[in-house]
Amino acid sequence: MQNERFPGTHATRRHGALAVLAAAALMAACGGGGDGDANAGTPPVDAYPLVATPTVTGPVASEGFLSATRNYTFYATDVALASRGYVEQEFFLEGKAKVYNEPAVDYAATTLPAFSGDAAVVAEGVPYKTRIVVRRPTDPAKFNGTVVVEWFNVTDNFDGEYFWVQAKDELLRAGYAYIGVSAQNNGIANPNLGLKWFSPTRYGSLDVTAGGSVTQDKLSYDIYSQTAKAARAVPAVLDGLPVKNVIAAGMSQSGWRMGPYANYIHTRAPIYDAILVQVATPVLRDDLKTPVIKVLSESEATGGRLAASQPDTATRKTYWVAGSSHGDVVQRMGRTGVRLRDLGPQNTGNDACLGGTVATRTRTPLGHVVGAAVHHLKQQVETGATPPSAPALTLAADGQSIARDANGNALGGVRLAHMEVPTARADGVQCGNVGAWVPFDTAQLATLYPSQADYVAKVTAAVGASVAAGFVRAEDGARTIAEAQTSVIGRGLQCGLLCQAAGHFRADFSSTGLLRENTAYYAIRDGERIQQAIDAAHYWMASGYSSSGSAARYHFNFAIASLQQYIELVRAAQAEGRVTATAGELLVSQANTIVRAAEAL
């Protein structure tokens, strides 16, 4: 259904017709319908009357990625949703929003501001128009009843879905619906990268400033509340899927905005059942009734924030994840393909830590803990089960920084297999928000893990502990074990430049280690042969670096052959709809880059 408007709680035509038929059947069964029927014409009860219901238009048609006016959904996912039983749709939201007198976001604060009670409404009826992106199951039987609404991050001057890239595996396999909302002006009107710059044809009418009269994103909080109201009250948004609960989510910049929202606005008009804050440390009130989980990396443990970490309560938990960073490798993988497609290579830069001398992007999977946190919040809302608590990262003797072991890795915190069975120095503070990931050399790895069986056994034990503690979902734990089983750790092999997983993709460089990671990120349906091909290429590449002369050339040629098979399999999966065109082009381009470099060895 294209370009239809659904004002207030009005349903789509299909759902409206079903409602009429159901009402008629009920009246006939009860013998009602006359003037004496007390229920005749009674409107449905609004369960959230303090939050206005916006008008919803859509789904908005897209012309495809070759559109001359770029009339398609900005940052449309490069995950093959249809192969997973999901669909992506975009809608426009418009209505009248309130302005509050909430305290401004203070990124340096470690205590609550001198502000008591709830925020007051200082203006209302302010018009706005924005957009939401919906990803939902196509089969109602798969929907688990929970919607997660991400407040898009606008730090990079465009809408960033940085919660989605970390949580997508849990959301897709467990049947969640996802909504991302453009709540802030920078993502819409930034002159260089905003939605209006991207496609004036599609997004030119969006405005969250009332024509420039309302600044500082003062409408954003009520827009965010109205997005939840649309999910609950406008059937068109989720094609009539029955919503049981809605979880709020914000990452980094938008995670910080969850502080004023949770403390002073949501308290007066609650509409979210739980809140997830990712890699941001807003101070939260002790008396909040809405459950909140913060999932934090090492990068947030600066400026006194680790020392001031709030204690857990029944409704507030904090998970500091050792060995992780604010913008880890998944954040990079999750945006590279769509960023190249929508913003171009000129706006897709490379990391440069200490002049390129330190490898960047931590590999400890923060997203596994994010997925577990979503699961725990859903369980707490539905069953009352309290999420587990976790120790904070250990403070160093200075009382401010993170204590580290002899390898330079953090002590304390949520300890995933990547830190309990380390293969690299991980530092979420070095290199800014992206962190450092410096693989151990071959000799150190051989000392730590004399055989592959030893390495896999240790990883398996560490994963089991994380799953049992509730910080990793079983499916994610199984992926970590599978990665260990197909790695070259414990085999006595040397992983050279075209083998190592360090840094990130660049237009001019990749490696089998990087391509293994990016292939795993897409979780391709029935993609076992694709993963096996890149695993084989990785093994042969390491074997080549571990040999010399004709033996090395022999192994490198096998790596090249495996990469060529990989390319064929990715192309076949793309033709079958199991890999999107955006992802397929990225993966094939990187495989070809490795082939060319390997041929020159």
Q: DSSP secondary structure string, 82-151?
A: GGGTEEEEEEEEEEEEEEE-PPPP-TT-SS--S--SPPPEEEEEEEEEEEEEEEEESSGGG--SEEEEEE
User: Can you tell me the distance from the alpha carbon of 97 to that of 115, in angstroms, rounded to the nearest whole number?
Assistant: 23
What does the pLDDT read at residue 42? 61
What does the pLDDT read at residue 350? 84
User: Can you tell me the distance from the alpha carbon of 268 to that of 35, in angstroms, rounded to the nearest whole number?
Assistant: 39
Q: Which pTM value belongs to this model?
A: 0.92
Is pLDDT at 3 greater than 60 in this prediction? no
Q: Under a CB-based contact definition with an 8 Å cutoff, are residues 272 and 290 in contact?
A: yes
User: Can you tell me the distance from the alpha carbon of 363 to that of 322, in angstroms, rounded to the nearest whole number?
Assistant: 11
User: Can you tell me the distance from the alpha carbon of 413 to that of 421, in angstroms, rounded to the nearest whole number?
Assistant: 15
Is pLDDT at 96 greater than 70 in this prediction? yes
Question: Using one digit for the tens of pLDDT, what is the confidence trace for 366-423?
Answer: 999 999 999 999 999 999 999 999 999 999 999 999 999 999 999 999 999 999 999 9
End-to-end distance of the chain based on CA atoms, in angstroms? 55
The CA angle 250-108-394, to the nearest 5 degrees, is 85
For the chain, the domains span 5-290, 493-601
- Running DSSP on this structure, what letter comes out for residue 314? S
Polymer length in residues for the chain? 601
What does the pLDDT read at residue 570? 98
Sorted by sequence, the CB contacts under 8 Å of residue 422 that are 6+ apart come out as 323, 407, 409, 440, 448
Is pLDDT at 507 greater than 80 in this prediction? no
What does the pLDDT read at residue 39? 40
Q: Under a CB-based contact definition with an 8 Å cutoff, are residues 278 and 255 in contact?
A: yes
Q: pLDDT band at residue 313, thresholds of 50, 70 and 90? A: very high
Provide the H-helix boundaries in 160-262: 162-174, 185-189, 195-198, 200-203, 220-233, 253-260
Q: Token pair 């039987």 is at which residue?
A: 141
User: Can you tell me the distance from the alpha carbon of 154 to that of 186, in angstroms, rounded to the nearest whole number?
Assistant: 6
Q: What helix, strand, coil percent values describe the chain, rounded to 5?
A: 40, 15, 45
Q: pLDDT band at residue 43, thresholds of 50, 70 and 90? A: low
Is pLDDT at 496 greater than 50 in this prediction? yes
What does the pLDDT read at residue 60? 98
The arithmetic mean of pLDDT across residues 321-334, rounded, is 95
Is pLDDT at 31 greater than 70 in this prediction? no
Q: Under a CB-based contact definition with an 8 Å cutoff, are residues 76 and 338 in contact?
A: yes
DSSP codes, 261-275: IIIIITTTS---SEE
The arithmetic mean of pLDDT across residues 45-55, rounded, is 95
State the chain's mean pLDDT as an integer.
92
> How large a percentage of the chain has pLDDT more than 90?
88
Two tokens, residue 168: 């997508």
Two tokens, residue 362: 């931590």
Two tokens, residue 82: 């249809």
What does the pLDDT read at residue 267? 97
Q: pLDDT band at residue 352, thresholds of 50, 70 and 90? A: confident
What does the pLDDT read at residue 321? 98
What CATH number should be reported for the domain whose range is 5-290? 3.40.50
What does the pLDDT read at residue 2? 38
Is pLDDT at 10 greater than 80 in this prediction? no
H or E segment at 383? helix 366-383
Burial state string for 72-110 with b = 16 or more CB within 10 A and e = fewer than 16:
bbbbbbbbbbebbebebbbbbbbbbbbbbebbebeeebe
Q: Under a CB-based contact definition with an 8 Å cutoff, are residues 151 and 181 in contact?
A: yes
Lowest model confidence (mean pLDDT) among 260-274, 493-507, 541-555: 493-507
Q: pLDDT band at residue 206, thresholds of 50, 70 and 90? A: very high
Is pLDDT at 115 greater than 90 in this prediction? yes
Is pLDDT at 14 greater than 70 in this prediction? no
What does the pLDDT read at residue 506? 77
C-alpha 375: how far from chain center: 14
Is pLDDT at 503 greater than 50 in this prediction? yes
What does the pLDDT read at residue 28? 32
CATH architecture, range 493-601: Up-down Bundle (1.20)
Is pLDDT at 40 greater than 80 in this prediction? no
Query: Strands, DSSP E only, in 283-345?
Result: 292-296, 316-320
User: Quick one: which of 185, 168, 145, 13 has its CA closest to 80?
Assistant: 168
Two tokens, residue 389: 């608590």
Q: Under a CB-based contact definition with an 8 Å cutoff, are residues 499 and 563 in contact?
A: no
Q: pLDDT band at residue 41, thresholds of 50, 70 and 90? A: low
The arithmetic mean of pLDDT across residues 113-127, rounded, is 96
Is pLDDT at 37 greater than 50 in this prediction? no
Q: Under a CB-based contact definition with an 8 Å cutoff, are residues 434 and 327 in contact?
A: yes
The residue that leads in pLDDT, 10 or 516, is 516
Q: Token pair 């996802």 is at which residue?
A: 178
Q: Under a CB-based contact definition with an 8 Å cutoff, are residues 588 and 573 in contact?
A: no
Q: Under a CB-based contact definition with an 8 Å cutoff, are residues 132 and 203 in contact?
A: no
Is pLDDT at 150 greater than 50 in this prediction? yes
User: Can you tell me the distance from the alpha carbon of 395 to that of 320, in angstroms, rounded to the nearest whole number?
Assistant: 12
Sorted by sequence, the CB contacts under 8 Å of residue 96 that are 6+ apart come out as 52, 124, 125, 126, 127, 128
Q: pLDDT band at residue 1, thresholds of 50, 70 and 90? A: very low
H or E segment at 147? strand 146-151
